[in-house]
Structure 1
Amino acid sequence: MKNVLVTGLNGRLAPYLKEALERKEVNVVPFDRTVINIEDRTAQVRYLKNHNIDSIFHLATGPEKWVAILASIAKELGIAFLFTSTESVFEPSSEGPFTPDRKPDATSEYGCYKIACENSALEANPDTIIARLGWQMFDTFEADNLLTHVRDMHNEKGFLYASTKWLPAVAFVQHTMQCLLDIMAAAAPSIYHVGGNENELSFFDIVNLINKKYGMQWDIREGDDPARDGRIVDERVPCGLLSEVLK
């Protein structure tokens, strides 16, 4: 990878990917939707050619049609295309752990949207790389992530019920970004799961580790709902352990 197009740089995750790429001395080219019409395929082809793009990381939200356009352009130009999806393609009531060959069964609006995006990408370009991500944890309490969500849950009631029987799909964002780089470097078309919770921490375990690491002095109460393994797993994608970050 030398010149990489990254969409979604105004969002939460793509800036972390940009940092990871630039540490590898990769030139990151943004996609500015205020300049380029996402429905104008010709303009997008021109933009990619002008910047000698050799890989595309599509992290932005947008219509399924845009996913299909970018995927088809990648196929036409013979460059790698990676689309980030989510564990939300699986119904919250379904029991995991979820492997990449598990058929998505989401019924929520967001889950169905992500399933449709995956299908659009694969129909336009069978060589699409799909990376499904779980809940992300940043290293600060800023922006929307695991830390802020747990903090807000506690502050709302002054205490927090945390299930010992729920194994969430959660990863440290820097670990996730390294996984995306590794997946793209291999350039093997497939659906991948970037899990992170490989040592099977319960939500109760995670909350207590956060409480201890950041000195929050939260009132954490043991619960048993939900009771499910919600992890996404993939032996091809080793991900850094959340427990190492939170120790």
Structure 2
Amino acid sequence: MKKILVTGAKGQLGSELKVLSNNYSQFEWIFADRTQVSLDNLSILQNQLEEITPDFILNCGAYTAVDKAETEHELADIVNHLAVAIIAQYTKDHSVKLIHISTDYVFDGTSAVALSEEALTQPVNVYGATKRAGELACLKANPDAIIIRTSWVYSRFGNNFVKTMQRLLQERDTISVVNDQIGSPTYAADLAQAMMTIVTAPDWIAGIYNYSNEGEISWYDFVLAIQEIGGYTCEVKGIPSAAYPTPAKRPAFSLLDKSKIKRVYGIVVPDYKESLAVCMKGGL
């Protein structure tokens, strides 16, 4: 029985993979938290991987505190870059299949068209820079790896934008949301399914792939959809990013072109609003 190791198992994507694992009993699953696979402790990471001896690694663990990364550059780089290099080298040396999760934040946000996997990367914040460094380290150590870039991830699990907005829409009379950052959200359960479609496909086609749900929206549009599905009555106002300054700059446009993953692996990508409704109704 082949063994799948999921890092970052308690995060949104790891939690959705745990639910999905019930449909893939042909594998032995290891859901590792930060004590079992310590992405922030490079001195023991190699030994931890050698003890687990996986056949697949789904690297969902990451330092994702975008604003905090501006002051915790070293820690973000260890988790998002240097640990990825160790994992990729391990998978190369032991003929292990690796899917590594990356982000739309590797782009600078100046595009006006959906970004392909070949689009120029130019991160505008520390988080994006460390994730791009991780991509490069991954591909250098193991050219046979698969990297999936995703965006605006949310889930039934953990803390995320959808849960925060549901709470605020119920608590407040008015909320303001930025309306000039464009992209598409990703329901983590959909991404988890896409990953397992790749794992179980007859052919392993290495390289970088994009995955998010279909749709081109702003965060403001996203909140309007949350409001509509939830039936909330709070007033939602659109504001420019300049009116809501954050320590880390965000890319203004990071819509991902999903045509490659659809073409190569035949993956069907749901519309963002369909998936949002599924998540808000309990992920049935």
TM-score (norm 2): 0.73
Aligned to 1:129: 146
Q: Does 1:192 align with 2:222?
A: no
Secondary structure at the aligned position of 1:46 is classed as helix
**CA 39–188 in structure 1, closer or farther in 2 if over 3 Å, else same:** farther
| RMSD after superposition | 2.9
**CA distances 1:49-76 after superposition (whole Å, capped 9, x unpaired):** 3xxx211011112252221111111111
Q: Does 1:209 align with 2:225?
A: yes
Equivalent residue for 2:103, pick from 81, 86, 92? 86
**CA 124–175 in structure 1, closer or farther in 2 if over 3 Å, else same:** same
Cα distance, 1:152 vs. partner?
Answer: 6.3
Task: Determine the C-alpha separation between the residues in 1 that align with 2:167 and 2:45.
Answer: 42
Task: Determine the C-alpha separation between the residues in 1 that align with 2:36 and 2:207.
Answer: 32
Task: Determine the C-alpha separation between the residues in 2 that align with 1:228 and 1:34.
Answer: 36
**Uncovered stretches (5+) of structure 1, i.e. residues with no partner:** none
Task: Determine the C-alpha separation between the residues in 1 that align with 2:109 and 2:172.
Answer: 24
Task: Determine the C-alpha separation between the residues in 2 that align with 1:185 and 1:123.
Answer: 25
**Uncovered stretches (5+) of structure 2, i.e. residues with no partner:** 63-78, 243-250, 262-267, 278-284
Alignment of 1:21-170 (within 5 A): 21-25=21-25, 26-34=27-35, 38-40=42-44, 43-49=47-53, 53-61=54-62, 62=79, 64-139=81-156, 143-151=158-166, 158-162=173-177, 166-170=181-185
Aligned to 1:6: 6
Q: Which moved more, 1:143-152 or 1:109-118?
A: 143-152
Amino acid at match of 1:24: Y
Q: Which moved more, 1:26-35 or 1:6-15?
A: 26-35
Identity in percent: 24
Amino acid at match of 1:10: K
The number of equivalent residue pairs is 241
CA contact (8 A) 1:138 1:146 kept: no
Cα distance, 1:223 vs. partner?
Answer: 5.4
Task: Determine the C-alpha separation between the residues in 1 that align with 2:50 and 2:194.
Answer: 30
Aligned to 2:191: 176
Task: Determine the C-alpha separation between the residues in 2 that align with 1:4 and 1:138.
Answer: 21
Q: Does 1:244 align with 2:259?
A: no
Q: Which moved more, 1:186-195 or 1:22-31?
A: 22-31
**CA 182–76 in structure 1, closer or farther in 2 if over 3 Å, else same:** same
Task: Determine the C-alpha separation between the residues in 2 that align with 1:34 and 1:202.
Answer: 37
Cα distance, 1:39 vs. partner?
Answer: 2.6
